[in-house]
Amino acid sequence: MGPKILKEEEIQAFQRDIYTYYEHHRRDLPWRNTRNPYHILVSEIMLQQTQVERVIEKYGEFIAAFPDVSSLAGASLKDVLGVWQGLGYNRRARALLLAAGIMVTTYGGKVPASVEELSRLPGIGKTTAGEIVAFAFNLPALFIETNIRRVFIHHFFPVESVAVKDREIMSLVEATLDRGHPRDWYYALMDYGTMLAKVVGNPNRRSAHYKKQSSFANSDREIRGAIVRALLKEPVLTRDELQQRVDVEPARMERILSGMMGEGLVREDNGSYRIT
């Protein structure tokens, strides 16, 4: 089946519905009250796989600690992780630190304004790059994230539709994009999608890309977070000391530590471990 072709009146009616909801129910989020590209970049990386409420709690603290690209680039990973705690997925903090270093050396401490350049930075894929370009620079980038996916599946694919592919949605995102006001349009779509999740369930279950997030309890993510917290509290720990502080079987500890060392989060020196 070919891509859906929308008539102009369908596009206008869809935009009208989205903007009408946004006019009355827009969310007041701190990163929406700035045009600072670096601050917006930080918020978008924080929002990867993390609930908005948790990001609200940490965003201001992080910006206060590292107010610009240069201050972040000059920080240690330990300092960055110390502020990052509570957001999870600590590899994002390291990627953000590396990205800041590249922005200083390659872009004069500025955030690049193209999807191509942004997506080459650590921790920033095409979706996050598109979000930064739209929100920081008000440019008509194309991207799909979870709330946008929910809106388009709900509006344009009947309930019997299953395994809806993102490429089918992307053609509709492009057709309906308000190119004169991409920042407000994407904010409106995201707010509408957040509302849909509360009132109609989750249309994203009909996406071909839908994956239910695994439980956090006793997951590798939980163990990794515990290791980072232990090393932030006590900067150098032997393997036995880590084992005592993080209650996990030795073989699993070995595997997780090996992965964290491979990612550059932790290093081992003569049997002792520390934040890189």
- Annotated catalytic sites, by residue? 44
CB 206 within 8 A of CB 51: no
Strands (DSSP E) found in the chain? 237-238, 266-269, 272-275
Give the separation between CA 26 and CA 190, rounded to whole angstroms. Answer: 10
266-269 vs 237-238, strand pairing mode: unpaired
Beta bridge partners of 237: 273
Q: How many residues does the chain have?
A: 276
237-238 vs 272-275, strand pairing mode: antiparallel
Give the separation between CA 60 and CA 64, rounded to whole angstroms. Answer: 6
